[in-house]
Amino acid sequence: MPKENCSRPAMLVSAPSSGQGKTTVTAALARRHRLDGRRVRVFKCGPDFLDPTILEAASGAKVYQLDLWMAGEDGCRDLLWRAAREADIVVVEGVMGLFDGNPSAADLARLFRLPVMAVVDSRAMAQTFGAVALGLASYRPDVRVCGVLANRVAGESHAGLLRESLPAGLDWYGSLRRGPDLELPSRHLGLVQAAELSDLEDRLDRLAGELAGEGAARVPPQVEFVPGSGPAPPRLLKNVRLAVAKDAAFSFVYQANLDLLAEMGAGISFFSPLDDDRLPQGSDALYLPGGYPELHLERLSANHGLIADIRAFHEAGRPILAECGGLLYLLRSLARGGQSAGMVGLLPGSAVLSPGLRGLGLMSARLPEGEIRGHSFHHSELDMDLEPLVGAVRQDGRPDRRENVYRIGGLTASYLHFYWPSNPAAAAKLFLPFSRRL
């Protein structure tokens, strides 16, 4: 049966730069539309794990990442189409500034004809607000900026000045006041996870309330969404029982990855390395994603039952994939702020958290199973006494000698967060016994 196109109101929320408050505004818009009775689907542009947790709470629906390099144009197109079929409005949060990066949020807007709403941090700004908006709207004729929202305004009179400065042809989407009650807290890798904010629902409702005035929560223009043309993934993981770590220490998981595993036939069981002392019974493969193990050193180190279970799982030759935080968990030790703790000890190395970034960027790994794309983003420094299986390759084709993939038996570990839909067959092989990888 052919897949039909569908049209829905949609927009991309962007800004002149990072730090303008895109996530706060996108969350406010999603909650406002939801309170107004609309079904909202939200996407995050780029490889981000933290913002989506806030956006999921605001919208009440799963949030997927849109990245043209990792997912490809067809993959992004299909994700948007699937969301549009079940939503009344589609909102995409951009990354960095509108025209920053390659590919940029503007490139995404151009490809899928998404109108752009610009968020501008308006502190210490009056009529120049209109000039910034005009510059964004006129910089690229193939990108349509339809309106602007003023963030962090001082009050109603300030918002009025900003609105009056807008040139003809740009809609006013409202404003948000500045104040601690309307900000979302952050830490070294970005925003605090939604599950850690006990007052998140109240914050989101306050933000939505700020957008209850004239011009706010304006329904954006209609966009026609077209289904992707890619084939359904092969069911290579039929009858594979996969244990996936999921808790406050291990939460950096692409929803698209989990969807792909299920589509390929895997049965998924979640467990908590913080609270569970055994792996899920009958597991055939183990996935340890990224997260914040450095914030839970004592509890992870003290869970001797699970550590013994993981060691036995590895000794039995079963497949294990560990990404970033999962890699740190499998080391001999992990240290942060003068505190060090023993970890699982499957990898002959240690790591120390540092105040600055130690790895960042879109990358791929050319594994024996095939090339898989993903990204790196970490603050830890690794000291590993093991020759790498392969080194990572940056988006532009240059090798990155700091970001390596390691392998011991059935264990594959790396700082890279893999986006498995970039190569479903290769991803499936990582969770298969070696006898089934041929």
- 433 in helix, strand or coil? coil
Residue 324 known to be catalytic: yes
H/E run at residue 56 = helix 51-59
Residue 340 gets the label, from left (phi > 0), alpha (psi -120 to 50) or beta, of: beta
> Which pair of structure tokens corresponds to residue 369?
């199973």
Sequence letter at residue 90 = V
CA distance 216 to 228: 33
With contact defined as beta carbons under 8 Å apart, do 260 and 420 qualify?
Answer: yes
- Of 45, 76, 146, 324, which is the active-site residue? 324
Name residues whose C-beta falls within 8 Å of residue 345's C-beta, 6 or more positions apart in sequence: 307, 311, 330, 331, 332
Question: How many angstroms separate the CA atoms of 183 and 178, rounded?
Answer: 8
Residues 50 and 29 sit within 8 Å (Cβ to Cβ): no
CA angle 71, 77, 80 (to 5 degrees): 105
Q: Is 249 helix (H, G, I), strand (E, B) or coil?
A: coil
Report how far residue 391's alpha carbon sits from residue 414's, in angstroms, rounded to the nearest whole number.
10
The residues, ordered by sequence, that sit 6+ positions from 180 with a Cβ below 8 Å of its Cβ are: none
| Max Cα distance, the chain (Å) | 70
Which residue numbers are catalytic? 324
